[in-house]
Structure 1
Amino acid sequence: MEWYERLNEYFPEHEMKDPDHFQALIEDKDVYHKEETTEYLLLYAEFPTFLFIDYLLIHPETRGKGIGTKVLNKLKQKGKTILLEVEPVDREDEDTVKRVHFYRKNGFKKADRIQYRRENDAGQVYEMNVYYWSPDDNEPQRDILEKMAKACAEIHNFRSRRYYGREVANPDEVLTWKQH
């Protein structure tokens, strides 16, 4: 799976799914889709009320040419809320800064009321941020939390015990509502 190798080269190891998990999602989960072109690779789930972008990779030679924006605009045309996970900005890692800038430039907001913490295979906790775009500018973050919980349960945890020996993203454990 050449596409898997490309993802694996770009995304941190703790964010990657097992190749067999990907295959199961693509083949057995009706809501999960893979789009691959010479310019980008997109893996996402389409639920009745929202989309969850699992991975978006713009091929290095086409970055900075508006491809990512075109992909997002195509998804926005479906008229559903779009959710995705983004690593927190690390000033020492320019890619994290660029990613956040890219999503913000494309109208995505950080769900600052949602804390999202997962564990890697070694049991180390890492944090991700939930970003969203909504056709309804005033969509409550409580609704975003519910949608993210569904993505965790149905995508990240799909047969996860078989591939990882554990539930990798139990929504009740990894998602927390932050009080202001």
Structure 2
Amino acid sequence: MSDEKQGSQLDLIMEFFKANPKRDIAHPEVVDWVVKQWQMRTGKVFRDPDRGIRNLHQKGYLQKISKGIYRYDPDFVNLREDLEDFSTSLKKQILERDNYKCVICGMGKREGVELHIDHIKPKDLGGKATLENGQTLCSRHNFLKKNLKQTETGKKMFIQMLESAKESNQTELIEFLEEVLKVYEKHNINGHIVWKK
């Protein structure tokens, strides 16, 4: 997504919140309005308004009241200057390094997949906009990752793959995935994500 498009989509989300100040608003209400307005104004689909809302919260424009509920209060905007976005040239470097493919599934422009440049360590957890902290993800895997740590995303993905492999009785894949998940347990990584054996 171009920086210009991203900016105008965030502007549209803020337009909604500024028209509804000091009110607790659930995601669906914002999303419905934003998607409809974007379609009317541009003729295009607004792909992930939820991510835009989270982005504005991370930057300090919106207050998170509870899960999926945000508020815009002009008296309490707390902008975070420490959140770093990737520059256009750095995005290009990351795409080139990753061969214009998602580092998780290998899909890319050739397959018509939308690619995103993602912070491996999320911005709001102190992740910097550096070549080493950047990775190419397809929109699907980027949306799945959200603000989870990389290892959490991986563990959830391996658990889902294991369930799928068991359904289709893929013995070799089952053994491989169970071995990977045992490594998570051995090193006590992401114990809060439960692998039901």
Q: Larger % of strand: which? A: 1
Which structure has the bigger radius of gyration?
Answer: 2
Q: Larger % of helix: which? A: 2
Which interval holds the TM-score relative to the shorter structure? under 0.3
Query: Taking structure 2 as the reference length, what is the TM-score of the superposition?
Result: 0.25
Whose RCO is larger (CA < 8 A, sep 6+)? 1
Query: Taking structure 1 as the reference length, what is the TM-score of the superposition?
Result: 0.26
